Structure 1
Amino acid sequence: MDMSAFRFFFRTGFKLCILVFALLPASQAAWAQQAKTVNFPSEDGKTTLVAYQYAPDTPGPHPAVVMLHGRGGLYSTLKQTFDADSLSSRHVMWVKFWVERGYVALLVDSFGPRGYARGFEAGTNDGSRPASVNEITVRPLDAYAALKFLRGQPGVIKDKVFLQGWSNGGSTALSAASTTAPGIEAPTEATGFRAFLSMYPACAQVMRRFTSSYRSYAPMLLLIGTDDEEVKPERCAQLSGIAERNGSDWQFVLYPGVEHSYDTPTRKREAVQANKLAAEDSKQRAEAFFGKFLAR
């Protein structure tokens, strides 16, 4: 290749790279601009929660999904602020996923209002985290506060509100689904959430609280990988067995070779082929799982 051709391809390639990198943050910023930052009281009676609400462009009312973050919190570690412009890539991806399918999406920050916006490191799921953010006894109170908030919105179908949680938030989803859940008395599919999606939760925490009596009042889809390095999938298999024996409407999916946070759209997670395949399968399952309750 002569020097003139080299300079042409260098300039063209460089401009293309600039364009690609310019478009990526613009897309993120576009979703941040769509967010409506809202506040409402937790059912704990002392915390004012912050949440980010997104709605489809189509006329409502719409079904809705309450979304609960994991132990790392809602925000990207690359940002120094804690707002809609700082949400991590996984949360933005799932918000986009649900909104494009006609759902109102509500991301609830349980940690920031309690002084822990940065979340917690891996390996701290041993009782060392503050009781004020406990995923089994406290965060369900946030979930039911979010349900109450959404049911007060004219653009939301009152009996079509779902709950999705990841990791620590996945454990919260399991606790909130219990027939003896904190934050609601004698829950049913009509008075509580319509269905639950729990992704790679710490099921051992749930089993300590509910033991062999655990039963969910609404359908549950639990997704986890065999190679999860943070939580124990065998505990989720045990909990699923207990829930099913007690009459729960329950689906348990165990992905071979899949790690924790497998649906996070980062190079590290997507470098594992099993993670990529599981992430795509999880989206398909999630859409079908919630979708089957919309016509009922």
Structure 2
Amino acid sequence: MRTMPSILLAAALLALPASGLAAVRTQDEGGPPTMSTARAPAPERVVFRSLDDAQTELVAYLYTPANVEGPAPAVVLMHGRAGAYSSLADGVYDVTTLTMRHRYWAQYWADRGYYALVVDSFGPRGYPGGFGRGSYGDRPDAVNEVTVRPLDAYGALRYLRTLPGVDDDRIGLMGWSNGGSAALATMADDKPGDMSRRGFRAGLAMYPACGLHNRFGRTGYSTYAPVRVFMGTDDEEVSHDRCRDLIGTARARGNDVTFTSYRGASHSFDDPGRRRQSVAANARATADVREQAAIFFTEALAPRQP
């Protein structure tokens, strides 16, 4: 298993000046985007390097916001254990076979003026179809959500900061299930340097598994930026109470973190498909989390005060 020093090294790399990467933008440079009448382009397949030891070349799908001119915020999207693609992909792994949930949320953010980057962590490592339920103990270290996938998130962050249309100081992170666990590990305050300036501005974790390989058992979990966690009480894959306790303890220690619990909602409650949304508790939770997520990123990714 890879160890946390790899993440520390990656964080240190992020602290180094990069070619074409401006220092943190001021409010004047990164103010509210100007609206235009341009039509949103189709999602674009892009590649960039993870910050893992192998410098894995990752595949991702970039959704560009419509009707925006000037520096815009961005969101990195991290898939769950089933991977980025639909179970009906039938060997075709591209933007056309992204899951309904990933397509929905990427477009959701793009429609609100954000660049949205759906990162495929599994396909480039030989597992495009992801992993089945109950396979946790059999998954390879190459896709570990605590020691490896955060390095993918930071690779995505570095990539977005090379794009001229992205405000490099207003980038958030969102993940589901295994990707939600990766988001929690990514946002953990265990990295050198001022990550509140060089890292993600905020993180959203949807129904993550909160064991996190016992990484924070001794020190306790803390974050370098605001984090919000959303989970249903009837989650059938991961422990609702374990996450509630992890985030509750972090909040008690002064971290800007919250845990929102949806009574009766299941794992993957926000999947827009008919099967999940036919459950009333899931539909209610989905409507609320969409609103809460939009409010959170509007506030957390706002231009900094000078």
Distance in 2 between residues matched to 1:232 and 1:213, nearest whole Å: 18
Quote the offset at 1:247 in angstroms.
Answer: 2.1
Which segments of 5 or more consecutive residues in structure 1 lack a partner in the other structure? 1-29
Q: In the aligned structure 2, how far is the partner of 1:153 from the partner of 1:295?
A: 18
Partner of 2:59: 50
Instruction: Tell me the equivalent position of 1:73.
Output: 83
Q: CA deviation at 1:241?
A: 2.0
Code of the residue aligned with 1:271 in structure 2: it is S
Cα distance, 1:246 vs structure 2: 2.6
Residue 9 of structure 1 aligns with which residue? none
1:40 aligns with 48
Say if 2:248 and 2:259, in contact at 8 Å, map to a contact too. Answer: no
Matches within 5 A, 1:104-253: 104-125=115-136, 127-181=137-191, 185-205=192-212, 208-211=214-217, 212-253=219-260
Q: CA deviation at 1:124?
A: 1.6
Contact 2:82 2:129 (8 Å CA) reproduced: yes
Give the TM-score, by structure 2 length.
0.82
Which structure: greater helix fraction?
1
Equivalent residue, structure 1, for 2:14:
none
User: For residues 276 and 60 of structure 1, what CA distance do their matches in structure 2 show?
Assistant: 35
Structure 2 counterpart of 1:291, from 292, 298, 305? 298
Contact map agreement 1:76 1:89 (CA 8 A) in 2 = yes
Corresponding residue pairs, total: 261
Tell me what 1:18 maps to.
none
For 2:194 and 2:122, the matched residues in 1 are separated by 25
Kindly name which structure, 1 or 2, has the bigger radius of gyration based on alpha carbons. Answer: 1
Tell me how far 1:213 sits from its aligned partner: 2.2
Mapped to 2, the partners of 1:256 and 1:247 lie a distance apart of: 26
1:35-73 deviation line (CA, Å, top 9, x unaligned):
111111110132110000111122132100000000000
Q: Which residue of 2 aligns with 1:82?
A: 93
Summarize the alignment of residues 255-294 of structure 1 with structure 2, pairs less than 5 Å apart: 255-293=262-300, 294=302
Residues 203, 226 of structure 2: 8 Å contact kept: yes
| Residue 8 (structure 1) aligns with | none
What are the superposed Cα offsets for residues 217-251 of structure 1, whole Å, 9 maximum, x if unpaired?
A: 00000000000000000000111122113321011
Higher relative contact order (CA 8 A, sep 6+): 2
CA contact (8 A) 2:106 2:116 kept: yes
Moved over 4 A (4+): none
Secondary structure in 2 aligned to 1:292? helix
Deviation at 1:187, TM superposition (A): 4.6
- The match for 1:22 is none
Q: Give the match's secondary structure for 1:203.
A: coil
Structure 2: unaligned runs, 5 residues or longer: 1-38
- Greater shift, 218-227 or 50-59, is seen at 50-59
Any idea what SS the aligned residue of 2:243 has? helix
Report % sequence identity. Answer: 49
3-state SS of 1:202 partner:
coil
Residue identity in the other structure for 2:88: L
**Which deviations, in whole Å up to 9, do the C-alpha atoms of 1:257-287 show, x marking residues without a partner?**
0000000011210111000010110000000
- The correspondence for 1:97, drawn from 108, 114, 122, is 108
Q: 1:141-188: per-residue Cα shift (whole Å, max 9, x none)?
A: 00001001101111000110000000000000000011115xxx3352
CA–CA distance in 1 between the matches of 2:132 and 2:294? 30
Q: Equivalent residue of 2:238, what SS?
A: coil
